Homo-oligomer: A and B are copies of this chain.
Amino acid sequence: MDFEHADALNQAIRLLSLRHRARAASLLAPLGLHPGQEALLLELTRTGPMIQAQLSEALGCEPPSVTLMTRKLEAGGHIRRTPAPSDRRASIVELTDSGKALAEQVKQLWCALAEETVGGLPAETVAELPGILKTLTGNVDTRRPHHPGGAGTV
């Protein structure tokens, strides 16, 4: 691949992250959330109570990040951490009622953001997009074993 194409792609990915994150930040700010925290709330909504190691895996970020995120969300009263009875090292993380209510609001914003994001694209492209992005992600994911032929986990 020639440099111009490569550069266009890499730069486009970098700018998309910056802008999408910034837009998410401006939408989440009125709820008192910083971008990244919404992912934790939504994961708990999807999967239910889980320990931090599972959150770390699900969110794709490292344990120390989870420590900080959970601490702040706990301080805000949105989640609760209770020692796991079966494993005294682990904490079970779960949503409080306030957290559940907040997650519902986040869901609304999330839909609005997604619609805003794909505005002007043909429906066909929009339908393919998550699969394409997951393929890209899998291709550069140094965490997992590798996902070699991955034409999309759609």
* Chain A positions near chain B (C-beta within 8 angstroms): 1-3, 5-24, 26, 39, 42, 60-61, 107, 110-111, 113-121, 125, 128-130, 132-137, 139-143, 148-152
Contacts and interface: CB of A to CB of B under 8 A. Distances in A.
Contacts of A24: 10
A106 to B, nearest CB: 10
Interface SS of chain A: helix
B114 A5 contact: yes
Contacts of A132: 121, 125, 129
Contacts of A135: 120-121
28 contacts: A3-B111, A6-B110, A6-B114, A9-B114, A10-B113, A10-B114, A12-B129, A12-B130, A12-B133, A13-B117, A14-B21, A15-B133, A15-B137, A16-B17, A19-B141, A20-B137, A22-B140, A26-B142, A117-B140, A118-B136, A118-B139, A120-B135, A120-B148, A120-B150, A121-B135, A121-B151, A125-B132, A129-B132
